[in-house]
Amino acid sequence: MADEIKSAMHEVPGCKAQEPPAELLSRVSSLASIGRRPLSREQYVEGILAGERATLARAITLIESTRDADRMLAEQIIEDCLPHSGNSIRLGITGVPGAGKSCLIESLGIYLIEEQQQKVAVLAIDPSSQISGGSILGDKTRMTQLAASDNAFIRPTPSRGSLGGVARRTREAMLLCEAAGYRSIIVETIGVGQSETAVHGMVDFFLLVLLAGAGDELQGIKRGVMEMADLVLINKADGDNIRAAERARHDAQNALHYLPASASGWMPRAQCCSAHSGSGISELWQAVLEYAALARTNGWFEDLRRSQTLSWMHEIIEQGLLHLFDANAEVMKSKHQLEKEVIEGRTTSFRAARRLLEIYSEQRPAAADDAER
C-alpha cells in the first residue's frame, strides 16, 4: 500500500515525497495497534464472559500458540472460564467429504439462531489440514449466512500439530465458547482416520451424515463410526433424490438395529434431511433435544461428561510425558543410534524402546536433585 502511494508520487514530476512528521507517525502506529494491545488475564476473562467475539477469538489464538508464555496465559484464562463453561449441547458431525456437513451446519446454525434464539459456535477438527494448510477454511464459503450472523462464532481448525494436539486445542476452545454464552457447540470432522474418535470423545451427541448412493449406501463407513452415531442423517433428500434418500434411511435404520444397544439408553435413529431446502432440520434438532432430555434424566449426560473430562486428563498426561521424553537431551543423543540399529536389525524395537525409557528414567531423579539444590 505504502509502496503504491510512493510510486504514484514518483510519477508526478517535481513532486518530492516528504517524510511525514515523526509525531504523526507514532500516533498512527499506536492507533493501528489498539486492536492488538496485549490484554491481561482479567481483561481476557471479562471480555469472554461478556460474549465479545474478538476477545474470544484472541484467546483461542493463545490456545493455538506454540509460545510458552501464550500457553501459560491461555491455561489461566481457561481456568477462570471453567466455572462458566459446560452449559451447552455439544454436537459432533462426521461424514465423508462432500456429504454436506458444512451446508448442514449452516442450515442448522441459522435454524438455532432464528428459531431457538441461541448463539452457535462452530469448531472443526481436520487433521488433513496439516498437509493442505487449513482446508476447512474453504468451508466458511459454505457458511456465509452463519458467518455473517452476530450470534455465530466460526473457528477454522487449528492446523498445526498432531491429532492429539489439535483435539486438545479444540476442546479448550469449546470451553471458552461456552463461557462466552454459546449454548450450541458444533464440532465438524472429516471422516478420516482417528478424527471421529477424537470428536466423539468431546461431544454429547454424535451425528453421522450419509448420502444416498447407488449400491450399498453404507459402504466406506466403518462399522465403528456407525456404532458411535446417535443419529444417522441422510442428507440431500431433495429434488429427484428424495426417494433414494428414503431408501438409504431405511437401510441405515436396519443397520442400526443390529448394533449393540447404546449405554445411554438412547436408540440411535436414521432420518432424512436437506441442508439446501431446510427439510428435516427442525426434526434433527428435535432428536437432539429428546436425547438430551433422556440422558439428563437417567444421569448419562453428566456421567459421559465426567468420563470425558477424565480421559482428557489422561491424554494431557500422555502428551506431556511424550514432550518431556522428546525434550530430554540424553534420550535424544541415543535415539538416533538406536533407531539405526532397529532399522538394520541389530536390535529389536522392544529392546531399543526399553533402553531409551531406562535412559529417560535415569535422568529424572538427577534433574529433580538439581532443582532442589
Cell digits for 308?
470425558
Which stretches of 14-99 are DSSP H helices?
Answer: 22-32, 41-49, 53-64, 68-81
Strand order across the beta sheet in which 152-154 lies: 152-154, 120-125, 184-189, 89-94, 205-211, 231-235, 269-272
Q: Which residues contact 255 (CB under 8 A, 6 or more apart)?
A: 218, 226
Cell digits for 34?
489498539
Closest of 152, 138, 144, 140 to residue 53, by C-alpha: 152
Closest of 81, 231, 106 to residue 171, by C-alpha: 81
Give the integer Cα–Cα distance in Å for 70 and 38: 11
Comparing CB distances to ligand GDP, the nearer of 138 and 299 is: 138
Is residue 276 part of the contact set for ligand GDP (CB under 6 A)? yes
Smallest distance, ligand GDP to C-beta of residue 139, A: 6
Residue whose C-alpha cell is 500500500? 1
Give the integer Cα–Cα distance in Å for 164 and 194: 10
Residue 235 near which of Mg ion, ligand GDP, none (CB within 5-8 Å, type-dependent): ligand GDP
Closest of 170, 224, 173, 159 to residue 196, by C-alpha: 224
Closest of 192, 239, 193, 185 to residue 212, by C-alpha: 239
Residues between 35 and 64 with contacts to ligand GDP, criterion CB under 6 A: none
The one-letter code for the residue type at 85 is: S
Give the integer Cα–Cα distance in Å for 179 and 49: 6
Is residue 102 part of the contact set for Mg ion (CB under 5 A)? yes
Give the integer Cα–Cα distance in Å for 105 and 122: 8
Give the integer Cα–Cα distance in Å for 360 and 354: 10
Residues between 97 and 116 with contacts to ligand GDP, criterion CB under 6 A: 97-103
Give the integer Cα–Cα distance in Å for 156 and 139: 8
Dihedral class, residue 345 (left if φ above 0, else alpha if ψ from -120 to 50, else beta): left
Residue 274 near which of Mg ion, ligand GDP, none (CB within 5-8 Å, type-dependent): ligand GDP
Per CB under 6 A, the segment of 269-277, 281-289, 309-317, 320-328 that binds ligand GDP is 269-277
Smallest distance, Mg ion to C-beta of residue 159, A: 15
Tell me how many residues contact ligand GDP (CB under 6 A): 15
Give the integer Cα–Cα distance in Å for 223 and 313: 28
Residue nearest to ligand GDP (CB): 100
| Among 53, 84, 142, 250, contact with ligand GDP (rule: CB under 6 A) | 142
Smallest distance, ligand GDP to C-beta of residue 98, A: 5
Residues between 232 and 261 with contacts to ligand GDP, criterion CB under 6 A: 235-236, 238
Comparing CB distances to ligand GDP, the nearer of 58 and 236 is: 236
Residue 238 near which of Mg ion, ligand GDP, none (CB within 5-8 Å, type-dependent): ligand GDP
Residue 181 near which of Mg ion, ligand GDP, none (CB within 5-8 Å, type-dependent): none
Smallest distance, ligand GDP to C-beta of residue 234, A: 10
Smallest distance, Mg ion to C-beta of residue 100, A: 8
Comparing CB distances to Mg ion, the nearer of 47 and 158 is: 158
Smallest distance, Mg ion to C-beta of residue 274, A: 16
Residue 53 near which of ligand GDP, Mg ion, none (CB within 5-8 Å, type-dependent): none
Smallest distance, Mg ion to C-beta of residue 62, A: 26
Smallest distance, ligand GDP to C-beta of residue 295, A: 26
Residue nearest to Mg ion (CB): 102
Is residue 139 part of the contact set for Mg ion (CB under 5 A)? yes
Distances from the Cα of 302 to the Cαs of 38, 131, 274, in angstroms?
A: 37, 36, 32
Site track for ligand GDP across 60-99, x = CB under 6 A: -----------------------------------x-xxx
Residues that bind Mg ion (CB under 5 A): 101-102, 139
Residues that bind ligand GDP (CB under 6 A): 95, 97-103, 142, 235-236, 238, 274-276
